[in-house]
Amino acid sequence: MFKLKLPTDPRWANIAEGNLQEILTDHAWCEQKAATNAIGLITMLPEYPEIVTELLAIAQEELDHFNQVHEIIKKRGYTFGRTRKDDYVNELVNFIQKGGNRDDLIVDKMLFAAMIEARSCERFKVLTENIKDEELKTFYKELMISEANHYTTFIGFARQLGDPEKVNQRWEEWLEYEAKIIQSYGNKESIHG
């Protein structure tokens, strides 16, 4: 669906399951950052009330996911750790086009968001198919569907705000770039690590 060029090695799920407290803490902070990103996009698009409304719904849903993960952490007696640096996301930020016009920047930020949602969805699928923890299998399957919807929404906004042909071409560039950087990841107990 996402045309990701390099799938996650299923063995990453074993690494994640080996330290559930860490993966859950990292995941919670990923959800908080996704909510913050949606709010940041809202501030850039006040002239598009329909998009603002949809982004607000995404931000609220991401905060709900944050809450759900936080509740799992508490229920299991884990310690909720401090926010984590996400090197993968920081490398994606570097690919956002600088110096273009406002519309190009907004389109690229939508594609940035779509890329994160696509990879997160793919990672949730790997967890769903490979971990033994039944509660988390069910949980990640539900989130996988939500992340896929967010991906579709961000891609749709990019095509709405920019020339669809140019957006599709730029998405291919994002996919190529992401394939290069993701090669360095998949060996830590983090959603993108």
For 27-68, how does the pLDDT look when each residue is reduced to its tens digit (9 = 90+)?
999 999 999 999 999 999 999 999 999 999 999 999 999 999
User: Are 103 and 161 in contact, with CB atoms under 8 Å apart?
Assistant: yes
CA distance 11 to 9: 5
CB under 8 A, 24+ apart: contacts of 124-127: 126/8, 126/10, 126/12, 126/13, 127/13, 127/16
Give the pLDDT of residue 23: 94
Alpha-carbon distance of 4 to 174, in angstroms, equals 10
Q: Rounded to whole angstroms, how far apart are CA atoms 162 and 155?
A: 11
Q: Is residue 7 part of a domain?
A: no
Is residue 192 assigned to a domain?
no
Assigned domain for 90 exists: yes
Number of domains in the chain: 1
* Neighbour tally for 142: CB within 10 Å: 13
Q: Is residue 70 part of a domain?
A: yes
189 closest CA partner among 23, 5, 12:
23
**76: domain CATH number?**
1.20.1260.10
- Residues 6 or more apart in contact with residue 99 via CB below 8 angstroms: none
Radius of gyration for the alpha carbons in the chain, expressed in angstroms and rounded? 16
Residue from 65, 191, 192, 80 nearest 139 by CA: 65
100: three-class secondary structure by DSSP: coil
Q: Tell me what pLDDT residue 1 has.
A: 58
Domain that holds residue 156: 17-183
Helix locations, the chain, DSSP H: 11-17, 20-44, 49-75, 87-93, 102-130, 134-161, 164-182
pLDDT at 70: 98
Which segments in the chain show pLDDT lower than 50? none
